């Protein structure tokens, strides 16, 4: 059976070059970077080189990169660490309604710790209005966190405008750039943010390797206390091979970004333009223009997304219906709900995430396989037969 992986939103496949870069660090270069001997020095040099590579990807400096164990850890570290470090100034933070659960639930935890959290809404495309951020800033606001792009619907947020507002108010701005760093050009100076989260498994690097970029001079409390690794800001023996891999992946992403984007946009645009002509009642989600290059998300009415996932999987196609971190939880996406997409439609959401390994033949295969699946499921759908009766 043909196998088509179109779930590059959940995780990407390691490129051969990245794996090759990592392998020596599982073998002869296995030392602990904290140790003052040859084995330690080799590991230390490796991670410092990776730090430079990751810094270059986002236009920061190496000293501003703090390696973590995942994008989720980076977000927890940013939200909790920044809030706790600046709570003397105030205890109010602002996030958007469509943040990833690692931001939303970190903010919820802060709520339990006596912080006040305001949610900024989004429009039907999932866009945050910077003026909505401005309206929520108070004297005791210490932190705003708005994601750079939402991986579920692909919408890219106007961080550059939002940062003008947070700068005027002297409020720290964090952005979850897990969906963008390594995929589209990300420059921390241009964005004007103070902190930025990224994860290397989103750009063909390994799992277990996230990073938080933190502007020099911004104070933060560690999430993980202990030794003096990462300048005392994130304790624990560094996951050296994963860090090496994230550095190499960052370098490759930086060097080949334009061609990668072009490739992804072609595949995405073809699918998004042809799907509505092969399937009725399709609602394309996310912004038509400000959109991640590989993201083709839409809802198919009168069908459960999960059922489509299963049948696509039986045909060798892997996609998701939303965030990987909630897939096995089977709930309607809070992102689509925040975009005012009716619950019934939101339940039929599908997310095709293209990656650099995908080809035009993969789109052909989806266009061949999906319509009969939709047809089959609709025949079994009470909602659809009700709709048809009403139509008559």
Catalytic site positions: 325
Residue 165 or 223 with smaller CB distance to its own copies:
223
Site for its own copies in 73-102 (CB under 8 A): 73, 75-76, 100-102
Residue 12 or 166 with smaller CB distance to its own copies:
12
Residue 69 C-beta: closest distance to its own copies, Å: 3
Is 212 among the residues that bind its own copies (CB under 8 A)?
Answer: no
Can you say whether residue 277 is alpha, beta or left, with left for phi > 0 and alpha for psi between -120 and 50 degrees?
alpha
State the CB neighbour count (10 A cutoff) for residue 3.
10
Is 53 among the residues that bind its own copies (CB under 8 A)?
Answer: no
| Rounded-to-integer distance, Cα 242 and Cα 54, Å | 12
Span interacting with its own copies, options 72-80, 144-152, 284-292, 294-302, rule CB under 8 A:
72-80
Site for its own copies in 295-324 (CB under 8 A): 306, 309-310, 312-313, 316-320, 323-324
| Rounded-to-integer distance, Cα 101 and Cα 115, Å | 18
Span interacting with its own copies, options 58-66, 69-77, 212-220, 251-259, rule CB under 8 A:
69-77
Q: Beta partners for 211?
A: 67, 198
Is 225 among the residues that bind its own copies (CB under 8 A)?
Answer: yes
Residue 57 or 199 with smaller CB distance to its own copies:
199
Separation of CA 85 from chain center:
25
State the CB neighbour count (10 A cutoff) for residue 252.
22
Is 240 among the residues that bind its own copies (CB under 8 A)?
Answer: yes
Site for its own copies in 251-290 (CB under 8 A): none
3-state DSSP assignment of residue 71: helix
Is 236 among the residues that bind its own copies (CB under 8 A)?
Answer: yes
Is 152 among the residues that bind its own copies (CB under 8 A)?
Answer: no
- Which of 47, 50, 58, 70 binds its own copies (CB under 8 A)? It is 70
Is 11 among the residues that bind its own copies (CB under 8 A)?
Answer: yes
Residue 246 C-beta: closest distance to its own copies, Å: 11
Q: What is the end-to-end Cα distance of the chain in Å, rounded? A: 40
Span interacting with its own copies, options 146-154, 188-196, 198-206, 341-349, rule CB under 8 A:
198-206
By CB under 8 A, how many residues form the interface with its own copies? 76
- Which of 126, 192, 206, 348 binds its own copies (CB under 8 A)? It is 206
Residue 127 or 244 with smaller CB distance to its own copies:
244
Residue 4 is encoded by which pair of tokens? 């088509």
Is 205 among the residues that bind its own copies (CB under 8 A)?
Answer: no
Residue 330 C-beta: closest distance to its own copies, Å: 9
Is 27 among the residues that bind its own copies (CB under 8 A)?
Answer: yes
The DSSP code sequence of 287-331 is -SSSB-TTEEEEEETTS-HHHHHHHHHHTTEE-BSS-GGGGGG--
Separation of CA 320 from chain center:
14
Phi, psi (degrees; rounded to nearest 5) at 170: 55, 45
Span interacting with its own copies, options 38-46, 138-146, 186-194, 358-366, rule CB under 8 A:
38-46
Phi, psi (degrees; rounded to nearest 5) at 161: -75, -40
Separation of CA 253 from chain center:
16
What is the spatial order of strands in the sheet that 65-68 belongs to? Answer: 65-68, 210-214, 195-199, 172-176, 141-145, 92-96, 116-120
Site for its own copies in 109-138 (CB under 8 A): 109
- Which of 108, 135, 219, 386 binds its own copies (CB under 8 A)? It is 108
Site for its own copies in 323-352 (CB under 8 A): 323-329
- Which of 111, 226, 276, 288 binds its own copies (CB under 8 A)? It is 226
Is 227 among the residues that bind its own copies (CB under 8 A)?
Answer: yes
Q: Using DSSP, how many helices (H) and how many strands (E) does the chain show?
A: 15, 12
Q: Which helix (H) or strand (E) segment is 49 a member of? A: helix 38-58
Judge contact between 339 and 125, C-beta under 8 A.
yes
């Amino acid at each position: 059976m043909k196998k088509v992986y179109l779930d590059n939103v959940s995780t990407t496949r390691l490129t051969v070059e990245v794996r090759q870069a990592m392998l020596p660090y599982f073998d002869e270069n296995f030392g602990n970077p904290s140790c003052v001997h040859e084995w330690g020095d080799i590991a230390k040099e490796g991670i410092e080189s990776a730090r430079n590579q990751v810094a270059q990807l986002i236009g920061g400096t190496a000293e501003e990169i703090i390696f973590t164990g995942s994008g989720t850890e980076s977000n927890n570290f940013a939200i909790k660490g920044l809030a706790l470090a600046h709570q003397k100034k105030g205890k109010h933070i602002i996030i958007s309604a469509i943040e990833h659960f690692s931001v939303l639930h970190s903010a919820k935890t802060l709520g339990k710790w006596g912080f006040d959290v305001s949610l900024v809404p989004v429009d039907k495309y999932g866009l945050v209005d910077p003026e909505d951020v401005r309206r929520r800033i108070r004297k005791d606001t210490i932190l705003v966190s708005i994601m750079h792009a939402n991986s579920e619907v692909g919408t890219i947020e106007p961080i550059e405008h939002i940062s003008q507002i947070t700068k005027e108010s002297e409020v720290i701005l964090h952005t979850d750039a897990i969906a963008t760093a390594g995929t589209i050009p990300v420059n921390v100076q241009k964005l004007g943010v103070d902190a930025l989260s990224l994860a290397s498994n989103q750009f063909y690097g390994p799992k277990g390797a996230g990073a938080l970029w933190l502007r020099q001079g911004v104070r933060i409390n560690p999430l993980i206390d202990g030794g003096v690794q990462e300048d005392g800001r994130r304790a624990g023996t560094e996951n050296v091979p994963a860090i090496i891999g994230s550095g190499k992946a960052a370098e490759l992403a930086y060097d080949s970004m334009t061609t990668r984007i072009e490739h992804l946009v072609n595949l995405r645009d073809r699918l998004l333009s042809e799907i509505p002509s092969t399937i009725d009642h399709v609602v394309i989600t996310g912004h038509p223009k400000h959109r991640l290059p590989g993201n083709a998300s839409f809802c198919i009415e009168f069908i459960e997304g999960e059922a489509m996932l299963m049948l696509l999987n039986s045909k060798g196609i892997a996609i998701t219906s939303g965030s990987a971190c909630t897939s096995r939880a089977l709930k309607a996406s809070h992102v689509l709900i925040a975009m005012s997409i009716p619950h019934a439609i939101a339940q039929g959401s599908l997310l095709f995430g293209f990656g650099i390994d995908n080809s035009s033949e993969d789109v052909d295969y989806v266009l061949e396989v999906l319509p009969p699946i939709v047809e089959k499921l609709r025949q079994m759908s009470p909602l659809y037969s009700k709709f048809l009766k009403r139509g008559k």
